[in-house]
Structure 1
Amino acid sequence: MEGIVLNEKNVRLNVKAETWEEAIRIGGQLLVDNGCAKPSYVDGIIRSVKEYGPYIIISKGFAIPHTRPEDGAVKIGFSLITLDKPVYFDGDEEPVKVMICFAATDSKTHLDILKMIVEFVEKGYIEPISSMHTLAELHALVDSE
């Protein structure tokens, strides 16, 4: 996938999180650690989910935590986490095991990330990704095209 780099800075596999909020904080912290967002951005994601419900669940087992740029996005970026045990969002029966958190400074700059997300869903990658243990396995899957 052009322009998208999956590496040890933005991927965490088999993360332990008891709640959806904790899972978002882990994925969001990677955005903060990589200079893509301020801590307020992570708080904004959680606030939005509490206010609007689990709108970030876009496919079976898969969520894309994000919020408005003005909540603290610094630059475009993303993180991918898988959970050792699925988390459940209030108001949704579907367990989530894979999350791609992303930050963007406007409504256009994150199109490459959205293309990656659509590709992951269309190619059926979510289920295999959910049970991976290494970055090498992830690379083997996405680079197999």
Structure 2
Amino acid sequence: MEKLILNENNVQLQTEAKDWEEAVRIGAEMLVSQGCAEQSYVEGIISAIKELGPYIIVADGLAMPHTRPECGATGIGCSLITLKEPVYFDGDKEPVRVLICFSAVDSESHLDILKMIVGFVEKGWIPEIAAMKDQQELFDFLNKNSNA
């Protein structure tokens, strides 16, 4: 399943970002580039985090930036970025090195993306994914472990 969702156009590893906002922008802009979201979706994510706090941190080291579909989602999509240096979200003391952004047009269409994320967390893969240096390493790992 993971190999169908993640590809060379929506994965960026060892990214440099000065803070959480820049990291989120990098990941969310990939959704815009894929045609899955408008620029307003990126701004909606940033605004929601500033207003609600770091609700997007779903596990140690992992954030899942997203917002409501009406903020500019035009399709189902995701992006995965890892950070060279971790970022910290206001109100949270845990470092984040992996961000999986997603967009969806309703409350059900993104379930495969959520299953992928849950799988990564349940299998304890977040630290391994964070340490990977290039896309091929990630894709080989996912293909090798897709049935694990």
Could you say which TM-score interval applies, normalised by the shorter chain? over 0.9
SS of equivalent to 1:97: strand
Residue 136 of structure 1, CA deviation: 1.2
For residue 32 of structure 2, what is the aligned residue in structure 1? 32
Does the alignment pair 1:128 with 2:106? no
Partner amino acid for 1:132?
M
For residue 46 of structure 1, what is the aligned residue in structure 2? 46
Structure 1 residues 83, 3: CA separation in 2 closer, same or farther (over 3 Å shift)? closer
For residue 8 of structure 1, what is the aligned residue in structure 2? 8
SS of equivalent to 2:91: coil
For residue 77 of structure 2, what is the aligned residue in structure 1? 77
Contact 2:36 2:75 in 1 (8 A): yes
More helix by share: 2
Partner amino acid for 1:125?
W
Structure 1 residues 2, 24: CA separation in 2 closer, same or farther (over 3 Å shift)? closer
Separation (CA, whole Å) in 2 of partners of 1:5 and 1:110? 11
Separation (CA, whole Å) in 2 of partners of 1:19 and 1:78? 21
RMSD (Å), alpha carbons: 1.1
Residue 4 of structure 1, CA deviation: 2.9
Structure 1 residues 126, 73: CA separation in 2 closer, same or farther (over 3 Å shift)? same
Partner amino acid for 1:43?
E
For residue 65 of structure 2, what is the aligned residue in structure 1? 65
Separation (CA, whole Å) in 1 of partners of 2:3 and 2:74? 18
Contact 2:2 2:142 in 1 (8 A): no
| TM-superposition CA deviations, 1:65-122 (whole Å, max 9, x none) | 0000000000000000000000000000000000000000000000000000000000
> Following superposition of structure 1 onto structure 2, how do residues 133-144 of structure 1 map, counting pairs within 5 Å?
133-144=133-144
Separation (CA, whole Å) in 2 of partners of 1:134 and 1:3? 15
**How many matched pairs?**
145
| TM-superposition CA deviations, 1:125-144 (whole Å, max 9, x none) | 10000011111111122112
Residue 5 of structure 1, CA deviation: 3.0
TM-score, normalization: structure 1?
A: 0.97
Question: Identity over the aligned pairs, expressed in percent?
Answer: 60
Separation (CA, whole Å) in 2 of partners of 1:72 and 1:3? 26
Runs ≥4 in structure 1, deviation > 6 angstroms? none
TM-score, normalization: structure 2?
A: 0.95
